[in-house]
């Protein structure tokens, strides 16, 4: 996998109908589909998005119990 992360920048989004400035970052990734299945890469990117948007949702205890 090759990944590129852009700089976070403020973008106006509608949140509950109210224009709100939120930080937004572009993430690009490329996978070798001979090695990594498209479904797996999609799940990885979805988890990456969740982790970036909610960094405190992962506790140290859950990370310590994870076995890759």
pLDDT tens-digit readout, 16-47? 999 999 999 999 999 998 998 889 999 999 99
pLDDT of the residue at 46: 93
| Residue from 10, 25, 12 nearest 55 by CA | 25
Q: How far apart are CA 51 and CA 46, in angstroms?
A: 9
> Does the pTM exceed 0.85?
no
pLDDT at 57: 80
Give me 68's structure tokens.
């890759």
The pLDDT value recorded for residue 24 is 94
What are the sequence ranges of the domains in the chain? 1-15+23-41
pLDDT at 7 over 80: yes
């Amino acid at each position: 996998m090759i990944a590129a992360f852009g700089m976070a920048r403020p973008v106006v989004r509608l949140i509950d109908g109210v224009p709100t400035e939120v930080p937004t970052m572009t993430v690009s990734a490329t996978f070798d589909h001979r090695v990594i299945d498209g479904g797996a890469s999609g799940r990885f990117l979805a988890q990456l998005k969740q982790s970036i948007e909610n960094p405190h949702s992962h506790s140290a205890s859950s990370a310590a119990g994870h076995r890759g």
